[in-house]
A and B are shown apart, each in its own frame.
Chain A
Amino acid sequence: MLKLGVQTQNVIGDEAPRQDFARLRRVGFDCADFSLHKYLLNTDIYQMKLNSFFSKTTAELESFFSPHKEAAKQAGVAVHQMHMPYPIYVPKGTKELNEYLWHEVAPKSMELCSFFECKYIVIHGLKLARFLGSEDAEWGETERFIESVTPMAKERGITICIENLYDSIGGHLIEGPCCNAKKAAARIDRINEKYGAEVLGFCLDTGHANLIGLDFEKFITTLGARLKVLHIHDNDGVRDLHQIPFTFTRTRENTSSTDWEGFICGLRKIHFDGVLNFETGPALNAFPKTLHEDVLGFIAKIGRYFAEQLDGEERA
């Protein structure tokens, strides 16, 4: 059966990581998606309010995260994937801001990924399509960023994963970077061939995909083995809510308005053998603290359901 993972945001704190990781294991997760981005929030970056977290030396950062690493190991939880802080470039940001993001935050994130013995790091492509006039020009900048960290990835055996993102117009969430699976597949292949290693892969974010009505099955099968990691979560098709799968409906029949059947079918078709990882940390906020462990257990149960479905026969 496939392993289960969940993001650490809202789940693993800095005060008592040993207790938190133990709880994660207890409710049924084998893996963690380490939310490195919570140490430098996107909302702060956009407002150009940088904290000094990544100004620490690599040794200092490793020292800071040593209790987390040790706690995960003790609990038997593997840090399977992590999320680099984002955005990594602000179009109208100062030169200092962007240089800090690109030359300090990104390489140190790679170092920390290696420190956690984590195989995958998820990055956000640059949101520049409307600014530069085309998606291809936007990808050019994203690729330039990827190239800046790829040698580190190759050296440390890390696969950088690009993720399908959204943009916004009039409050309506629309396609952002990496929403074309065919293009993504070709770009991943080209870069991996260049480096002679699997330095680039894909992270499917089901919530982002649902917001722009992507066809899960088609998207997943187009990516095939390039799909390395998952951000599984649900929403109402309008806002990026990071909620628990199967919890949204739009009709009185109350059937799920997210195409989970297509998701399962796609993963089954590509024989996905990665981790079923949930990016549902924010879902905990809606529940009283005393229920958090039950909520996590429920998410794990949904993970087991997906795993069982994937173990079944391929749908005709």
Chain B
Amino acid sequence: MEIACRSAGIVSAEEPGHGLMEIAEAGFSEVMIDFSAYAEAEALEAFGTEKNMAELSRLPEDVSALWETARPFWEEAKKASLSIGSACAPYLQQDTKRGDLNVLLENLTQESLRICRRVGCRMLVVRPLFAGVARAEAWEVNRSFFLRLAETAKEQDVQILLENQGRNVSGHLIRGICADEDEASRWVDELNAACGDDRFGFCFDVGIAGLLGQDLDAFVRGMGKRIKIVVLSDNDGYGESALLPFTAAVKGDSKTDWPRCIAGLRSIGYRRKLVLQLESTAKSFPFGLRTDVLRMARRVGEFFVEQVGADMEAQLRRYEARVLFGAGNLCRLYGKVFGTAYPPLFVCDNNKALWRQKIEGVEIRSPQALLALPEDCAIVICNVFHCRSIEDQLRGMGLKNPIVVFNNEYLFAKREGNEGLGTGGAGC
């Protein structure tokens, strides 16, 4: 799985070098370029009006000039050894009053596709047209729009990714185009059928879906392999934002249902791209801490890779027999989740006081008991905090048995933590 960082809020359009270097120093090797930095939504809103001409400064009068303005990004990314694996086309504000800019948007998107090819980027996220489009005509208008783009995309060998959208109702965001997995998958499938190849895919913006309170697991399952990029960002559940995942928390609970997001991605065997989008977080931290924030973002990305990529059951299935190491909560969790299908021979723990007692109906023994195991019996470590030192201990004992780390603690612990279901919803 690839982990990338979206440039918005970190890389300045005028001097991209510093931000890109910070992204690279944080451990990222890939960046997503946001073309709206060169054709800003606010500037588009003012396009052709006398209002605040300064806002037009980042809007090229001729769309072909987009390349010249974006070129320094590419050059500096190369210097920082960052690849540009994906990009976002310019878009309008969700509360836009401009229903007259769809031709301009299309031209900017066509140019974005050409730039993608130049910078070696193979995927462009394009938001469906919505401004000035009657709801009943949304599919037909967008079908024509995307199929026109597909011609250029084919020439440039770029895949176009649709993205789930919100719809602004007087400041309140509700589900918009492609926010429903049935609609989104139908759009992608019908566009691909019309093209005759897999020119279209889907970019799943977790932030928007989370903000709209959607069942993230169901959405991901519904979209399945159509998802080519997952954009990870958090928000306060009230308005759009781009926070580092897990930072929008109240009383120890994130406002985004990350466990169900991970469960969904795990269920479809997702192995594609994860993009960290943390514009708001990056901007809010003091400049001196930004590299640390980006390092944390990178680590969060790795955590998602570990969680999404982990197929615990597949690992357990590989071995005929197994024992558990660590007689704590994670061991109990193992018992509840896998205890029936993959029962352990015994549990061992370094705490002498626990020996000869039982946990989940299984006897707890000394680690010395492991020495009598056949070499193909797996040792499942049920301790997240000390898993590395336990592994060292086992190898130090001369054990050659396969070692598996039970890493489902986040998903299942969260599920257990919701046992007071419904209490958050007085009135419902």
Q: Which positions in A face B, CB cutoff 8 Å? A: 42-43, 46, 87, 90-92, 124, 127-131, 133-135, 165-176, 179-180, 182, 208, 210-215, 217-218, 237-238, 240, 242, 249-251, 253, 255-259, 282, 316
Contact = CB atoms under 8 A, between A and B. Distances in A.
Contacts of A135: 215, 217-218
A175 B172 contact: no
Given A168-B425, A213-B166, 11 more contacts: A87-B422, A169-B254, A169-B256, A170-B255, A172-B213, A172-B256, A215-B167, A215-B176, A218-B180, A251-B95, A253-B170
A174 B418 CA distance: 14
A251 B346 CA distance: 62
Interface SS, B side = loop
A258 B213 contact: no
Contacts of A238: 237-238
Given A124-B428, A167-B424, A172-B255, A251 B171 contact: yes
A173 B425 contact: yes
B169 interface: yes
Contact of B424 (A168, A179, A282, A316): A168
28 contacts: A128-B421, A130-B415, A130-B421, A133-B263, A133-B415, A135-B215, A166-B425, A166-B428, A167-B424, A169-B256, A169-B257, A170-B251, A171-B253, A173-B424, A173-B425, A174-B214, A175-B213, A179-B215, A213-B173, A213-B175, A213-B212, A215-B175, A238-B237, A240-B426, A250-B172, A259-B169, A259-B174, A282-B427
A259 B171 CA distance: 11
B260 A237 contact: no
Contact of A46 (B166, B250, B423): B423
B428 A165 contact: yes
Contacts of A168: 423-425
B120 interface: no
B195 to A, nearest CB: 26
A212 B255 contact: no
A172 B237 contact: yes
Given A129-B215, A171-B237, A215 B425 contact: no
A240 B166 CA distance: 21
Interface residues of B, number: 52
Contacts of B236: 172
B281 to A, nearest CB: 17
Nearest to A282: B427
Contact of A166 (B213, B250, B259, B418): B213
B361 interface: no
Contacts of B136: 316
A256 B170 contact: yes
B419 A170 contact: no
Interface SS, A side = loop
B213 A173 contact: yes
B419 A92 contact: yes
B104 interface: no
B396 interface: no
Contacts of B425: 127, 165-168, 173, 176, 240
Interface in B48-66: none
B420 interface: yes
B289 to A, nearest CB: 24
Contacts of B418: 130-131
A213 B174 contact: yes
Contacts of B257: 130, 169, 174
A208 B214 contact: no
Interface string B229-244: 0000000111000000
* 10 A-B pairs with least C-beta separation: A168-B424, A250-B171, A172-B237, A212-B213, A170-B253, A174-B213, A257-B172, A213-B174, A172-B255, A213-B212
B249 interface: yes
A212 B212 contact: yes
Contacts of B250: 170-172
B133 interface: no
Contacts of B362: none
Contacts of B175: 213-215, 218
Contacts of A258: 169, 172
B397 to A, nearest CB: 36
Nearest to B208: A213
Contacts of A208: 428
